[in-house]
Amino acid sequence: MALSRRSFSALAGSAALGLALGGSGGPGAPSAYAGGSAPTGPAPAPPGADGARHTIGYDRYSLLVDGRRLVVWSGELHPFRLPSPSLWRDVLQKMRAHGYNAVSVYVAWNYHSPAPGRYDFSGVRDLDLFLRTAAETGLYVILRPGPYINAEVDGGGFPGWLTATEGTARTDDPVYLSYVDEWLTQVNRIARRHLFTRGDGTILLYQIENEYDAHPADATGRAYMSHLYKKVRADGIDVPLFHNDKGRNGYWVPGAFDTGGEKGGWLYGFDGYPSPFKTPPDWGHFGPGGPKGGATASPGTPGFVPEFGGGWFDPWGGAEFDGKGYAESRRTRDAAYERRFCLTNLANGLTLHNVYMTFGGTSWGWLPAPVVYTSYDYGAAIDEARNVTEKIAPMHQLGHLLQRVPDFAKLDRAADVTAEGLRVYHLANQDTGTHVYIARNDGAEAVTTDLPTEAGTLRVSVPGKDAKLLTTGLALGGRRLKYSTASPMLCLTAGRQDVAVFTGRRGEMAELVLESRAEPSVQRLDPEGGWAYDRGELHVNAPLGEAGLTRFLVQGGDSDTPLVLLFADDATAVRLFPYDTPSGTLLVYGPALLRHAELRGSEVHLTGDMKESYGLEVWGPRGIDTVVWNGRRLAARVTLSGSLSTDPLPGVPEVRLPELGGWRMRRENPEAGPSFDDSSWKKADKTSSFSTTAVPEGQPVLFADDYGFHYGDVWYRGTFSDSTGIEKVALACSTGTQGLLMAWLDGEPLGTHRMPVPDKSTVRQGSWTDTAVFPVRERLRSPGRHVLSVLVRRMQHDQDGKALDTHKAARGLTAVTFEGASPRVRWRIQGEGPADPVRGPLNNGGLYGERHSWHLPGFADRDWERTRFPRAARYQGVTWYRTTFRLSVPAGVDASVGLTLDDDPYRAYRAQIFLNGWNLGQYINNVGPQHTFVLPNGILRTRGTNTLALAVLSEFTTLSGPGSVRLSLLGAASGGVPVTPV
């Protein structure tokens, strides 16, 4: 028996191994489904546009790509929520580096279609560019083009113009289907150029419809789904199709509708957003649910969850998280939540797993549905400012495990195991003999207990509200693991040696035992660890997190291939990045992010990010002797573990942000005045509408959408004769959440009306109706011509989650009545102008300043009044503020910058934020909870001059600001990606 030089107290105190348990108890070999079946083996190589034909099949365990088992570990990212195409690459590279092998993508119809028959896939809407970038990054794509996507976007993704059309949406109505076919033709013309099956890209799966539970059992629904299926196939999309069941209903399983005789091309998927305060549910193949229990509804297809909660959205006012915003979403759905809930999915046989959201981004402009504010951070693993947060750790570890350890692609439920204080799942791979144990602690306090395994009884500890994955019998290259109390993260071959990584929580003592009939040679490469060999077993222990990575080199014994064992806590594990190159696999340790790696002769060229001073360590093919980091050649030495190691690199330089000053201001809303010329405005004189809102008897249609105004603010001017008897005016309106109405009579303010702030019972309510009743002062009552002017902030269209055409609910005024008289009113209406050719239809609303380019760089504002913040004004209407500022972020630094607004919370006003012409969000001072708005690089000139404009809507009830308006540094790293201005 050989001992390390260090005292091996941890081994001495270990519990004695008990007797091995019996067999796995799992079922026999499965019958084959579409695509046949396959034994456990290496996963497919990372995808790319390689020009080769590929096959995509499945059995009940997993997808089969070119006959190899693939576990899909995907994250949701919406390109339309990051309007800077250069930054798509940044986030995609972060996803790939942190273990994701796929990206799920909604395509929003409203984002690409400003009008019937018009489609724009250029600039920030370049879907072709996004799909190319995903392929270049090495990620599969799950494409989800709707036609309905929900996604907390305006109208659930339906274009504004669809609200004013005949035809019932989300049915087999031929009028609606004609528009759908036009949309899908446009999307599929691009998508079919990027199909993985053809080697032109990496689209792996394609979704039709989303959460469609309105007509699951009637002819309407079946005909609709059949139409979508056949349309997509006719357009040349030949990858498997699927639908995302809203919850676990068993809707749209294979065979539920006519697919034109095609079999084996349809997958059942479902979504789930379990509460962090409840026990993780058993929704996979091994759960008890039956036809409404999740994957059990479709036993012949692999367990597929197209949306699994990686956070949750927050409404205006912040009722969902008690006003604490997305920081609270991230706290309640933290790393332990992700580990406990995702491991439960894995334990239940789910092998197609998409985390919604992995990067939430920003619902900029008029993109957000009424139920959310501008930020769509979601509490995701990558925050809105593109910072990788602590909750990435379990996603990183599980993602790399599922890609690098093939045993997890084909697991069966094995014999029941019990351990006091824990819920234990036991699975086994019958091909390899590997056993998997997922020990879940649903209590608040840590549990330390005995866990029976195939290798004997282990003493394990699981923190409260957390879970741990353990394996026995796992192959580590040419050697076999007997057991480990730390979780495996990956095993790969780098050059002529195997490298295995095991992880756990900081402060844990990892114990690992390798089977080895012959005694190996062991080198402890870091002083924290210890080892011992006894009777055919190599025992290794390491404290996690004491000094970063703990390394051991095992040589000889039962294998001629050296094995490097690496032990890491969560913070250390996320600095370990495997990367496959044509010349072999690398494992890189140290940087905050590894973006790309390639071998050029004896040089390994790496690009990535650094946030603090740290050295690099690289395991790779034999013969490499030089490390080049972001183009800089580094001095490197060969370590005893066979890696190349460098001295620490510098961290990120200081980023200084200027104070904002030099403000100029100008009041607008001339539309309120009686002499304003509205002759070019549209007459509001229609008498019928396709809206779900009834047209009041005897009134004209005043709904904004019926006149082609779909986004942002809308103005009304009603002209009539003689106001002598008018005592009150009643303005009925329909808006989204936090809609607002302001009224003037002959230029004199009548008042402002705001919709209520949602509470916990109304956070899902998208459409709000009310009637604002304003008294008419005596001095405004007279014969002659009068003008009633009304500004409505509409707050966008409701979604259509129940397929009731709720996106067609009216926006704007719905009826106007008077008390004391009944004048005949002639109405004109004005909203947004033509769609911005660069920024798209969702950028601009109908404010005077927007229609006259006050938000754009280069607008001449020299004659505007100079001002400074804080301000305290009492004024009903719109005031614009403009300034410029220059940034000088150091070259080679990726700085994420935000704009932060603060003021006395009592003051009732809101500000629309424009940066270089881009409408980046809406701030409501007295509602919140959002105070900081991300300014995406590309729109933000980090080395140049920027124009900032604020359009402030204020009312008489309180003083209004702005108060404090400042730039905030939200994150910085040395590295990043080249950014092209947009």
Q: Which positions are catalytic?
A: 211, 307
Residue among 372, 400, 375 at smallest CA distance from 385 = 375
Cα–Cα dist 887/897, whole Å: 10
372 phi-psi bin (left φ>0, alpha ψ -120 to 50, beta other): beta
Cα–Cα dist 655/103, whole Å: 32
Amino acid occupying residue 934: V
Three-state secondary-structure class, residue 575: coil
Cβ atoms < 10 Å from Cβ of 181: 16
Three-state secondary-structure class, residue 112: helix
Residue among 608, 98, 74 at smallest CA distance from 393 = 98
Residue 356 in contact with residue 102, Cβ under 8 Å? no
Residue 156 in contact with residue 799, Cβ under 8 Å? yes
Cα–Cα dist 321/315, whole Å: 9
Query: What does the H/E/C string look like for 921-950?
Result: EEEECCCCCCCEEEECECCECCEEEEEEEE
Residue 510 in contact with residue 542, Cβ under 8 Å? yes
Residue among 966, 868, 955 at smallest CA distance from 910 = 955
Residue 236 in contact with residue 184, Cβ under 8 Å? no
Structure tokens that stand for 346 in this block: 């894995």
Give the count of alpha carbons within 13 A of 671, CB side only: 29
H/E segment holding residue 304:
strand 303-309
Residue 239 in contact with residue 196, Cβ under 8 Å? yes
Cα–Cα dist 828/676, whole Å: 12
Amino acid occupying residue 584: G
User: What 8-state DSSP symbol labels residue 659?
Assistant: P
Residue among 289, 275, 278 at smallest CA distance from 245 = 289
Query: What does the H/E/C string look like for 448-504?
Result: EEEEEECCEEEEEEECCCEEEEEEECCEECCEEEEEECCEEEEEEEECCEEEEEEEE
What is the DSSP pairing of strand 626-629 with strand 603-609?
Answer: parallel
Look at the chain and count its residues. Answer: 982
CA 212 to mean position of chain CA atoms: 21
Cβ-Cβ contacts under 8 Å for 918 (sequence gap 6 or more): 83, 364, 365, 839, 843, 939
Cis, bond preceding 936 (omega within 30 deg of 0): no
Cα–Cα dist 965/898, whole Å: 11
Cα–Cα dist 882/349, whole Å: 56
197-231: burial string, b at 16+ Cβ within 10 Å, e else: bbebbbbbbbbbbbbbebbbeeebbbbbbbbbbeb
Burial of residue 687 (number of CB atoms within 10 Å: 0-12, 13-18, 19+): exposed
Cα–Cα dist 132/185, whole Å: 19
Three-state secondary-structure class, residue 229: helix
CA distances from 571 to 388, 574, 719 (A): 12, 6, 67
Cβ-Cβ contacts under 8 Å for 667 (sequence gap 6 or more): 875, 877, 878, 879, 880
Residue 676 in contact with residue 708, Cβ under 8 Å? no
Cα–Cα dist 309/345, whole Å: 12
